[in-house]
Structure 1
Amino acid sequence: MLTETTSRAPAHRAAATQQEFRNAMARIAATVHIVTTDGEHGYAGFSASAVCSITDTPPTVLVCLNRGSSAYATTVGNGIVCINTLAADQQEMSAAFAGKTPMPERFSHGSWTRCEGYAPALDGAAMSLHCKIIGSSTVGTHDVLLCEVLHIDDRDIETCLLYYQRRYHALSS
């Protein structure tokens, strides 16, 4: 039952600060992914926790990508991505694909499968979603990429890597 309260936030209350927002978002557990691309604009990859399903008709997910990322132009230019959900033992992959690590060095970590027309899939990932980018929306510093899932590699791995409270955690079934 929803009850009404008489106290309401004042209309003049300031918006949440960037630090308040970051602290709040750190309390939302998120699966860790490596998003890759390959094509005529080159290859690239980045760590992402902002990945979410949208609909199953057609199968579509969203991925948030910082426009200042070294992977941005290549990813958008190629128009395809592979979203690799990391297994619990792949924490070093997330670190390698985050930040300032040079692109060729990122792909020296792990073993990759490349299939024509698709972006690189990480061997040992819990699953890989091969997608084409079908749209995007700009919000603040990021683009929200709408990605239609064309193929799924489900490797039946029972663990995944989570990021919560600014630390990695393992989740197993």
Structure 2
Amino acid sequence: MELTDKASFRDAMAHVGAAVNIITTDGPVGRAGFTASAVCSVTDTPPTLLVCLNRSASVWPVFSEHHTLCVNTLAAGQEALSTLFGGKTAMDERFAAADWQTGATGCPRLEAALVSFDCRIDQRVSVGTHDILFCHVVAITRHPEPRD
């Protein structure tokens, strides 16, 4: 196995296909959301996802204080929303760009998502620059046809 540098690793990972998600939370510290592709299934017993969040991200302080989140998987054609939540746009403006419901845990659930996973954060592990959030899925909302 060849060792590689940070830039080579990032370039290689850019070629790996992944779903794009908007991760949201709401609670005592406020409402926040960010775009993430570093999300995957861990196990179905109990149903658990992991979400990776850079500790230097502007939303990290909010997510570090909250114990719930919602993983909203985007459909093709929702690139503008992905870009909005992936940038430095103010939270109010991000959330004003789409229609939201309140999920079972109180987190914002995107009405136009392909699927939304409402979760309780059960464990946090720090690795390098990121926190890995292990999230117990408490509710799932599927949308039969994606809406723009």
The question of a shared fold, defined as TM-score above 0.5 by the shorter chain, is answered with: yes
Which category of TM-score, normalised to the shorter sequence, fits these structures? over 0.9
Choose from 23, 41, 62 the match for 2:50. Answer: 62
| Kept after mapping to 2: 8 A contact 1:135/1:145 | yes
Normalised by the size of structure 2, how large is the TM-score?
0.93
Tell me what 1:134 maps to.
Answer: 122
Aligned length: 147
Equivalent position amino acid for 2:80 in 1: E
1:116 CA drift (Å): 6.2
Q: What is the match of residue 60 of structure 2?
A: 72
Letter in 1 for 2:119: C
- Structure 2 counterparts to residues 9-20 of structure 1, below 5 A: 15-20=3-8
TM-score where L is the length of structure 1 = 0.80
Query: Percent identity over the alignment?
Result: 46
Could you say if the C-alpha distance between residues 155 and 19 of structure 1 is closer, same or farther in structure 2, counting changes exceeding 3 Å?
same
Opposite residue 47 of structure 1, the aligned amino acid is T
SS at match of 1:138: strand
4+ residue segments displaced more than 6 Å: none
Distance 2:114 2:48 in 1: 19
Q: CA deviation at 1:100?
A: 1.1
Greater shift in the superposed pair: 72-81 or 31-40: 72-81
SS at match of 2:16: coil
Q: Which runs of 5+ in 2 are unaligned?
A: none
In structure 1, what is the Cα distance between the partners aligned to 2:146 and 2:78?
13
Q: Note if 1:42 corresponds to 2:33.
A: no
Q: Any stretches of 5+ residues in structure 1 without a counterpart?
A: 1-8, 160-173
Change (3 A) 1:85 1:115: closer
